[in-house]
Amino acid sequence: MQLQLMMSSGFNVFRVGISFVIMCSFYMPTVDSLLELSPQKYFSTLQPGKASLAYFCQADSPRTSVFLEELNEAVRPLQDYGISVAKVNCVKEEISRYCGKEKDLMKAYLFKGNVLLREFPTDTLFDVNAIVAHVLFALLFNEVKYITNLEDLQNIENALKGKANIIFSYVRAIGIPEHRAVMEAAFVYGTAYQFVLTTEIALLESIGSEDVEYAHLYFFHCKLVLDLTQQCRRTLMEQPLTTLNIHLFIKTMKAPLLTEVAEDPQQVSTVHLQLGLPLVFIVSQQATYEADRRTAEWVAWRLLGKAGVLLLLRDSLEVNIPQHANVVFKRAEKGVPLEFLVLHDVDLIISHVEHNMHIEEIQKDEDDDMEGPDIDVQDDEVAETVFRDRKRKLPLELTVELTEETFNATVMASDSIVLFYAGWQAVSMAFLQSYIDVAVKLKGTSTMLLTRINCADWSDICTKQNVTEFPIVKMYKKGENPVSYAGMLGTKDLLKFIQLNRISYPVNITSIQAAEEYLSGELYKDLISYSSVSVLGLFSPTMTTAKEDFSEAGNYLKGYVITGIYSEEDVLLLSNKYAASLPALLLARHTEGKIESIPLANTHAEDIVQIVTDALLEMFPEITVENLPSYFRLQKPLLILFSDGSINPQYKKAILTLVKQKYLDSLTPCWLNLKNTPVGKGILQAYFDPLPPLPLLVLVNLHSGGQVFAFPSDQAIIEENLVLWLKKLEAGLENHITILPAQEWKPPLPAYDFLSMMDAATSQHSTRKIPQCMKETDVQENDKEQHEDKSAVRKEPIETLRIKHWNRSNWFKEAEKSFRHDKEL
Amino acid sequence: MGLSAVAPLWGPPGLLLAIALHPALSVPPRRDYCVLGAGPAGLQMAYFLQRAGRDYEVFERSRQPGSFFTRYPRHRKLISINKRYTGKANAEFNLRHDWNSLLSHDPRLLFRHYSRAYFPDARDMVRYLGDFADTLGLRIQYNTTIAHVTLDKDRRAWNGHYFILTDQKGQVHQCSVLLVATGLSVPNQVDFPGSENVEGYESVSIDPEDFIGQNVLILGRGNSAFETAENILGVTNFIHMLSRSRVRLSWATHYVGDLRAINNGLLDTYQLKSLDGLLESDLRDLAILKDSKGKFHVTLKFFLEEASTNQSADAITLPQDDNDNFAMRVPYDRVIRCLGWNFDFSIFNKSLRLNSGNAFGKKYPLIRASYESKGSRGLFILGTASHSVDYRKSAGGFIHGFRYTVRAVHRLLEHRHHSIAWPATELPITQLTSSIVRRVNEASGLYQMFGVLADVILLKENAMAFEYLEEFPIQMLAQLETLTGRKARHGLFVINMEYGRNFSGPDKDVFFDDRSVGHTEDAWQSNFLHPVIYYYRYLPTEQEVRFRPAHWPLPRPTAIHHIVEDFLTDWTAPIGHILPLRRFLENCLDTDLRSFYAESCFLFALTRQKLPPFCQQGYLRMQGLMSTESLWQHRVESRLLRDDAPAGRDLADSSQQPGDQELLGAPLAPGPLAQSLDSNKEEL
């Protein structure tokens, strides 16, 4: 197997590709998961020169364990280094010496070809970092020298003077993320530099390091040293030890220390700029060239790894630079003008560079804040409005506040409405306002006592009343079970509920005259504004079951529609008059002054409820916020006429004619008055661009497909045109003007990803993995992600949570992605 | 320690013989549940069994409940706080600060009605426990000392065996389930030469007059040691206290079993050079010698072993002979042992395999996190003796902790033997945020038994609804389905209360600067007790629970949320607490959990094919939230949803498809959110 190192000079990519792996990933998409083999099978797969890590375990051992999980995660990174990973199941028939006797003696083995390189007890491979670090450490035995004392270091240093440079690193322990980062760097640079590694803190101290609790990486410039008594210069890497940072650091070390240029600084570009580091030009003249060069070299050493230093020869320069300027500062960001500086002290040059690095970071942070919505800003309209309204004083005294002590006594003593709410819950508090409005409207007129109880204080009472969510309204009437209000949480509907509950359900009507008054609306004159329909059940006195069913239905409908029952001996007078055969329902529509009858034969209570509910629906209603759900339930496309104010009677007539002619049976025709329902404007804007003049007739296929069709606005809304249009629609000859978006309601914004923050804190310098050999699947994934990124208006901050993408191994990927993202922006 | 324990002294072993001779002529009375001990834990279990209508009996050696408290603590002052005022009406919340009451439905049976003292008198506890048993009519056999417990294998029995209890009269009781609530009743004694010269906490005089002008050495470092010292501090020449390890202050460790500030007067005088002192040494290396004048000298066991056996006490080497500034070189008039208590293992037959725990938990029987003995199925340890589960971590060894663990055990039993699933409330997903906010703000079990009992939310399919289970023992999380009879197929949340990881400890400075966290993004660094919510896509396995990361109460979750600590433990701030919680839940469930006014739902219903859960579960069921005029005004001002523009524009998120652009027409314009951010800032 050939190992290929491909290194692009591009900024953030160094690709470690192994041709075999690439092929595998094209043809064996499952290669990402851990292979499970028998010992025999495993040894037959070993290829000369190829490294392989195998975990031998008893066939009957648990299928999952922490170790196996980590091993599984290491499959992909190791594969990128050409190392295969397998789980070998020891079965009785095949005895292998690698199979331990007992479960806890199981180990992982590293082979190169079929030669055993090392064995690892599983506890040394405690996580994916440790696995990668240990395996690379074993394979790169020659490339990475492990030392424990200063003498060893000095010996290596002496041996390499004039020959090669050294990358010396200290990590707190073997197997931690920093160690892995060093090993990953050594995998790439191991032939170019001598890597030296230690875990001895004393050694680090003896070479004069500070902050010895952290990992350190030094570049020893030994190649330049010709005099063996001279020490190698050292450059400390100041960034945290991650693979990416090490890579960047080595790149800057590789770049020439000092470059002489004689061209426009604006045009000059070096590897530093590509790496995001600034350039410092020391302006020189023929006369002072030698001294300037010495100064520049000195500055260059000081700024090694922080900025590129160039000597700019003013004399041979074609462009003008200000007379007194002796330093030119060029930032890495494109489009930032050059800075011409007059600095008479080299320390000033250095502090200028360091200071500007700092500024840059701060600015970046500020940019982050400005971009996109802040996840700490309220985007729940109910919570936000309640919060904004918190200082307004409500006339709470109009309702009785109940406590544990007063609750039972109060609801026993008088007919009461109780609002169960929680003081901290926004929806509760929003509804409390409507509730108070009801109290204002009913002030002094109602026999019903309006009360409320804060479940945040009186949690026991609420639990005892079976209230587990908020807000809940219940009605307590003497001798009856409490009834939960199930209508809209608004003033109008609750008021209706309370008013309609002044009578009993169903009302027992005992004379023909009373029945007629009931049907005409005379009997409950003050209530028919709340219930446009009165229902009267007609039964002969012997129809007990039917009566019971009706009573049950009436009880169910109480507070929503007036129901009455007539079952006197002379019931036939009524049934004959309204051409109904007993048992029957009479529906009196007060607004239209019509009475219709519906036969009831063996109709159960829920069916009666259904009949009545359906009867409440109008043929061509004005659609409002309150009544849409009733029509929405029918699951038919809506035919909506948007009208600015009351509907033109001609249009109404045209549509009602179509209804009668059964043209509209498959639709729900309705109209919307923009004066009553201003939110309709938003709907129109969603349908039309630009907005044609009103009225507009629209067919919205809400439940299947979401297409919106518009009746041509240049045509008159008359029967013929409508029929024609509907026929064309049916034949599929009309084009929709828009399709309603079908997207799911996703989290509006990400959340804080505390888990990642906690992870980052535990491994202070976390490894940010560098992009690796692009595989086919990755390319697709990236395409998709980029597409998503583009459509997103905002940029996702790194430590926020999108579970969708989340899993343990993805953490690095996410970090990497956001890194790429940063640079793109 | 051990103040809330029941301490029956069992009958003499001679009785065992009598039983053996006594032929089982009649079938012994059989009970489904037998409870040993009518102390707080026994009574608490009896209450739940009684309420559930179970067949049970409590056996109590004494003639009244809570006999431990008739004698202990010796100085009669309980150190469990009786906080009668919290400024809150919420009864559940108030139990967070009531360390003495047992759980019941009767508000009269709250300890605050029994004592006005913040640190109440033990006699009030005895009176309270007596009333608790009487008022609720609990079935207790008093004056019944269970002298021996053994097993009788029987395949028909619930657990494959019956527990056979024999009392002091030889009467035999057969039990399907045995609930042991006998507390820690045996004084802990350390064996060293001269230990016979030591007086025990259980019997030492409590009259300060007896200590006038004496030099006193107290062995032990716990609350009983300091309580003893406190009582005689003013009359002794000096008091020295000797213990193996340094003193642990409960306000530094957050563990109520450590030394409470109310008892630490001696620390004050020690540090203020008033002759009293604290010393650390292992008692087992010591010896105490009585000299001819009857005074006690401390020496090393080593010296004693060197000396020949018949040497007189005065001749034995003392440390000060070599080392003339040895701290305990003065002779003592009294040596008092205050070393705590152990569980009484003696009455349990070997066949029950009731063993003592590991090194630090020797005094406790070994049990699972479900409080069931590891040795025999159907044998549960309740109360103080069950503290091995959360020793030095939570409050399981004290009334204010074990009243909840007893309830958890009862719920497990109800499911195991009576097929009654763990109580749960099923709610629509729109109530998810509220149900969590409600519990973290009032639940006392979560608060007292932090890290041990946690609420569990089991999601239903498609996450449109959930079941809320309260106070489940979280170490049993992997077995949740079998223990509760509930299904956890679609992911779950666990709500736990936690202190910061590195906050408490015996040598930590708990008053350091920046000890509290105020910003929501730093919530994970909160130090004081705060709610933590774990999200799991799948129920963790037993392995995952066992091999969880160090210092984690639960296995690594898919995602975690910390609600930032709050000085008032009031987690209802709309922006600081509720908003981040909602965002977390939304991102776990990949949905939008905001609430909307009916007007918005109306708009969504006519301009989108899908509706957010709040509109689906409210508005479309004709239970939409209508806004009032003033709220409407704020809504317009907030520009969260402008009624003159298509709504949902602010919702255009990354999942938006290209087609949407066409629909929404107008550019995605300056986000209304960015504007509301500005306006919000002005207002704040």
Residue to mutate among A370, A380, A784, A802, with most B CBs inside 10 A, is A380
Structure tokens at A434: 């409507």
- The three state secondary structure string of A28-78 is CHHHHCCEEECHHHHHHHCCCCCEEEEEEEECCCCCCCHHHHHHHHHHHHH
Structure tokens at B346: 């003696």
Q: Do A424 and B622 touch (CB under 8 A)?
A: no
φ/ψ of B424, rounded to 5, equals: -150, 150
Min CA distance, A376 vs chain B (Å)?
7
Please provide the average confidence, as pLDDT, over all residues in chain A. Answer: 80
Q: B169: helix, coil or strand?
A: coil
Q: Is B639 left (phi over 0), alpha (psi -120 to 50) or beta?
A: left
pLDDT at A363 over 50: no
Give the mean pLDDT of A287-295: 85
Task: Give me the half-sphere count of Cα atoms (radius 13 Å) on the Cβ side of residue B73.
Answer: 24
DSSP single-letter state for residue A104 = G
Confidence band, pLDDT 50/70/90 cuts, at residue A21: very low
Residue A207 has what pLDDT?
A: 81
Structure tokens at A553: 């239905």
- Alpha helix (H) residue ranges in A443-566: 459-464, 491-500, 512-520, 544-556
Residue B114 has what pLDDT?
A: 95
φ/ψ of A673, rounded to 5, equals: -95, 110
- What gap in Å lies between CA A341 and CA A329, rounded to an integer? 7
Sheet of strand A216-221, all strands in order from the earlier edge strand to the far edge: A144-146, A194-198, A166-170, A216-221, A233-236
Min CA distance, A491 vs chain B (Å)?
8
Residue A432 has what pLDDT?
A: 95
Model pLDDT for residues B309-336, shown as the tens digit of each residue: 555 666 677 777 777 777 777 889 999 9
- What gap in Å lies between CA A353 and CA A349, rounded to an integer? 6
Structure tokens at A84: 């295969």
**Torsion angle in degrees (nearest 10) through CA of B86, B89, B92, B95:** 30
CB A264 within 8 A of CB A319: yes
Residues in chain A: 825
- The three state secondary structure string of B96-162 is HHECCCCCCCCCCCCHHHCCCCCCCEHHHHHHHHHHHHHHHCCCEECCCCEEEEEEEECCCCCCCEE
* Interior angle at CA B430, CA B429 and CA B435, nearest 5: 85
Q: Do B680 and A377 touch (CB under 8 A)?
A: yes
Contacts 24+ apart (CB under 8 A), B548-553: B551/B501, B553/B451, B553/B454, B553/B474, B553/B496, B553/B498
Residue to mutate among B625, B660, B662, with most A CBs inside 10 A, is B625
Residues in chain B: 684
Give the mean pLDDT of A1-18: 37
Looking at the DSSP bridge assignments, the partners of residue A308 are: A279
Min CA distance, B585 vs chain A (Å)?
9
CB B553 within 8 A of CB B498: yes
Rg (CA), chain B: 30
Give the mean pLDDT of A361-390: 69
Q: Which residues of chain B have pLDDT under 70?
A: 1-27, 272-275, 307-315, 358-361, 502-517, 640-684
Query: Least CA distance to B684: which residue of chain A?
Result: A388
Ranking A175-184, A614-623, A756-765 by mean pLDDT, the lowest is: A756-765
- Give whole-number Cα distances, B392 to A674, B251, B405, B500, in Å: 67, 13, 16, 16
* Chain A CB contacts of B96 below 8 Å: none
Min CA distance, B234 vs chain A (Å)?
46
Residue A438 has what pLDDT?
A: 93
* Chain A CB contacts of B610 below 8 Å: 742-745
| Assembly ipTM | 0.84
CB B200 within 8 A of CB B228: no
- Give whole-number Cα distances, A523 to A238, A507, A520, A574, A722, in Å: 90, 11, 8, 17, 42
Q: Tell me the pTM.
A: 0.69
Sheet of strand A562-566, all strands in order from the earlier edge strand to the far edge: A507-509, A562-566, A533-538, A584-589, A594-599
CB B383 within 8 A of CB B5: yes
- What gap in Å lies between CA B601 and CA B617, rounded to an integer? 11
DSSP single-letter state for residue B347 = T
As to burial, measured by CB atoms within 10 angstroms (0-12 exposed, 13-18 middle, 19+ buried), residue A61 is middle
Output the CA torsion sign for B137, B138, B139, B140.
Answer: negative
Give the mean pLDDT of A649-655: 90
pLDDT at A818 over 50: no
- What gap in Å lies between CA A630 and CA B331, rounded to an integer? 93
- Give whole-number Cα distances, A625 to A677, A682, B526, B604, B639, in Å: 7, 13, 45, 11, 20
Residue A40 has what pLDDT?
A: 80
| List of residues 6+ apart from A93 with CB closer than 8 A | none
How many other CB atoms sit within 10 Å of the CB of residue B426?
Answer: 12
Host H or E run for residue B300:
strand B296-300
Instruction: Say whether residue B262 is in contact with chain A using an 8 A CB cutoff.
Output: no
Q: Do B608 and A741 touch (CB under 8 A)?
A: yes
CB A141 within 8 A of CB A205: no
CB A308 within 8 A of CB A301: no
- What gap in Å lies between CA A506 and CA A498, rounded to an integer? 15
Confidence band, pLDDT 50/70/90 cuts, at residue A428: very high
Rg (CA), chain A: 41
Which of B383, B465, B387 has the alpha carbon at shortest distance from B426?
A: B465
Output the CA torsion sign for B661, B662, B663, B665.
Answer: positive
Model pLDDT for residues A147-161, shown as the tens digit of each residue: 988 888 888 888 888
Q: What share of chain B is helix, strand, coil (3-state, %, to 5)?
A: 35, 20, 45
Which of B437, B442, B441, B468 has the alpha carbon at shortest distance from B455?
A: B468
- What gap in Å lies between CA A152 and CA A196, rounded to an integer? 10
How many other CB atoms sit within 10 Å of the CB of residue B547?
Answer: 13
As to burial, measured by CB atoms within 10 angstroms (0-12 exposed, 13-18 middle, 19+ buried), residue B510 is middle
- Give whole-number Cα distances, A824 to A111, A333, A636, A779, in Å: 42, 12, 48, 17
Residue A593 has what pLDDT?
A: 82
CB A539 within 8 A of CB A583: yes
CB B391 within 8 A of CB B579: no
Q: Do B640 and A748 touch (CB under 8 A)?
A: no
* Chain A CB contacts of B547 below 8 Å: 65-66
Residue to mutate among B105, B566, B587, with most A CBs inside 10 A, is B587
Model pLDDT for residues A574-609, shown as the tens digit of each residue: 888 888 888 888 899 888 888 888 888 878 888 999
CB B599 within 8 A of CB A755: no
Ranking A100-114, A473-487, A803-817, B29-43 by mean pLDDT, the lowest is: A803-817
Confidence band, pLDDT 50/70/90 cuts, at residue A323: confident
Residue B401 has what pLDDT?
A: 95
Scored b (16 or more CB within 10 A) or e, A315-334 reads eeeeeebeeebbbbbbbbee
- What gap in Å lies between CA A14 and CA B53, rounded to an integer? 72
- What gap in Å lies between CA A413 and CA B442, rounded to an integer? 30
Min CA distance, A657 vs chain B (Å)?
25
**Torsion angle in degrees (nearest 10) through CA of A558, A564, A568, A573:** -160
Give residue B412's identity as a one-letter amino acid code.
L
CB A256 within 8 A of CB A205: no
Q: A739: helix, coil or strand?
A: strand
Instruction: Say whether residue B625 is in contact with chain A using an 8 A CB cutoff.
Output: yes
Residue A103 has what pLDDT?
A: 60
- What gap in Å lies between CA B221 and CA B338, rounded to an integer? 8
